[in-house]
Amino acid sequence: MQRTTPSRLTEIATRKLSRTALLVVGVLYIFAGLFYRDPWKTDDLTGLATMLTAFRGQEHAWLLPQIGNYAYAQEGPLLTWIGTLFIELFSPVFMLFQAPLEAQITAARLPIFIYFFVIIWATWYATYLLARRKECQPLALPFGGEPNPQDYGRMIADAAVLFIIATIGIVIRMHETSNFPLIMMCQAVAFYGMVRMLDHPIQGSTLAGLGLGAAFLTRGAIGGVPVLLALLGLLFFRNFGRRQKIWLLWSVALAAACCLIWLNAANNTNSYWTNSYLFWNNSLFSLPSPREIFSTLRDLSWFLWPTWPFMIIALWNWRKWMDAPHIFIPALLLGAAVVTVVFQQDAFESEYAMLALPCAILAALSLPTLRRSFVNTLDWFSIMIMSLAMIATWLGWIALNFGWPSKINHNITRLLTGFEPQISAIALVLAVGVCTAWFWTVSWRLRSNPAVIWRGIVLSATGLTLTWMLLALLWLPSINYNRSYKAVSDELATVIQEKNVPVDCIRQHGIGLGQRAAFYVFEGLQFSFDARCQYVLVQTTFEKIESEADPYPDNATLVWQGKRRPDRHEVFRLIQLPAK
């Protein structure tokens, strides 16, 4: 029995989206909020700390990620390699008009542009190759007028890119010097390789193998297992002949060679680091409880918005075509990522990254199957949500700067204790320009009522990009104040200098990974492991201090106590123990 495609489109519905407009949206999306701020807790700081450790010449830090003298045996070295290389190459240029540390931070963020645009490029071309195949084409109309395969494939590929940009959960994390954008890039390259294997097995398998190897070198089992499971799943793909399946072994062998070469060199350099890394990877997965599964689904519902409803619609409408390449390959990648996340302990945003790309691709494939009334609903929903988000952004900014409405001002200032807002005329003018651009976009939709199928997701992607720009323009100083450790790091460094505390003989107690990274990034502070050192930096809370749950000896001296001013719980104490 012949299957009927659920895709029904006319040629006018696949009218070409402007390449310039797509590029502008992408550039604005990734540039906004990337510079002119401190690194934020926690992943943003830890990734940067490993780069600066290698750049500052810490022994073996190029090969083994470290935060100062602390073995950061939880991540692979690829992020450190790329970031450190960019700091070496570009920080001298930025130092012509920036302080040395600021120049290094700016240089470390440059690779994020590469990660993002490789994600866009690989996703676009892979989706285009799938969508122009015979199995994915729309139903032929009785009197003609259906789109040709190239136009149809381009429309689906454009929509996939726009769905990625519109995904709410990735917008902040995509701007961090962390493994988040890099692991998405590795997955996108592997996905492109899997698709390319349909026509060019050697080229595709090599790209898939490099993507798999890079994923392991970025996040170990968390990054590599989803891609590996997807590659192994292709062994059961009916569209892959014997030749493609043999080349799948080449993909796995290439990735294994990359990883084993690094692991062997790491083990020969520092077996303690390697053993800790392997132990961490082996302890990642366990059987989840129903409560953990519910918590993960709840978090994913907002992280993957608005792509997940469209992904479900695509899987349902294309259910008779599950063995076709355009559904099987992204669904396989999605299923592998879901299995990894569900069985991983304490999975959150960094791990959810692997679901964003396959969700976006499947969501794009739902568009030609939707009724026109549903697409119009998406348009109006996008206009309403993004307009309300911009209004809320302005209302909060007005409350922060002018004290009205008073209740909103009270709620905001509780989170920004000690912050003194200042109005930037340039930022204010640009913010008005952002709102004008959104007004023009909405006017275009209402005035021309375009028949193109991508109009709704254009509104979502453009609206999220402009909302993010508005947040960056109006709120970046206050967000930076709320999430930065620079002030408390500077305060501690001043105390160390004034009290003549030996900087190379300070131990730590309870210091979190992000806080350790912050003290190293801003002040180069490394904690000693020598038990004879008298000075100890303690991270605790006011509740523990009041209940004496974090006591120190009666004959110890409190040298300094400080905290980030907007934080109501976390506090740091530098104490001096009596000499032994």
The pair of structure tokens assigned to 78 is: 């690829």
Q: First CA to last CA across the chain, in angstroms?
A: 86
The pair of structure tokens assigned to 5 is: 């495609």
Q: pLDDT-based confidence at 569, cuts 50/70/90?
A: confident
Q: What is the pLDDT of residues 449-466, one digit of tens each?
A: 777 888 888 899 999 999
Weakest mean pLDDT among 64-78, 141-155, 294-308: 141-155
pLDDT > 70: percent of the chain:
98
Residue 62's nearest CA partner among 84, 43, 44 is: 84
Confirm if 118 and 189 have CB atoms less than 8 A apart. yes
Q: What is the pLDDT of residues 499-530, one digit of tens each?
A: 999 999 999 999 999 999 999 999 999 999 99
pLDDT at 445: 82
pLDDT at 375: 76
Residues 38, 118: Cα–Cα separation, whole Å? 25
Residues 320, 328: Cα–Cα separation, whole Å? 11
Give the contacts of 553 (CB within 8 A, at least 6 positions apart). Answer: 577, 578
**What is the pLDDT averaged over residues 275-287?**
92
Residues 258, 102: Cα–Cα separation, whole Å? 33
pLDDT at 547: 77
Name the 3-class secondary structure at 536.
strand
Q: What is the pLDDT of residues 261-271, one digit of tens each?
A: 999 999 999 99
pLDDT at 144: 63
pLDDT at 352: 94
Confirm if 47 and 178 have CB atoms less than 8 A apart. yes
Residues 562, 572: Cα–Cα separation, whole Å? 5
Confirm if 569 and 543 have CB atoms less than 8 A apart. yes
pLDDT at 1: 46
Q: pLDDT-based confidence at 550, cuts 50/70/90?
A: low
pLDDT at 270: 93
Domain boundaries defined on the chain: 372-483, 486-576
Distance of CA 56 to the CA centre of its chain: 26
pLDDT at 10: 79
Residues 530, 517: Cα–Cα separation, whole Å? 20
pLDDT at 580: 67
**Is the predicted pLDDT of residue 315 greater than 80, yes or no?**
yes
Name the 3-class secondary structure at 454.
coil
Residues 218, 65: Cα–Cα separation, whole Å? 11
pLDDT at 439: 94
Distance of CA 221 to the CA centre of its chain: 17
To which H or E segment does residue 51 belong? helix 43-55
Residue 367's nearest CA partner among 401, 326, 403 is: 326
Residues 323, 336: Cα–Cα separation, whole Å? 16
Helix ranges, 56-147 (H): 78-94, 100-109, 111-131
More confident residue, 461 or 382: 461
Distances (CA, A) of 142 to 8, 132, 139, 479: 12, 21, 9, 57
Residue type, 93: V
Q: Give the CA-trace dihedral at 443, 445, 448, 453, to 10 degrees.
A: 170
Q: pLDDT-based confidence at 330, cuts 50/70/90?
A: very high
Query: To the nearest whole number, what is the mean pLDDT of the chain?
Result: 92
**Is the predicted pLDDT of residue 41 greater than 50, yes or no?**
yes
**What is the pLDDT averaged over residues 133-147?**
80
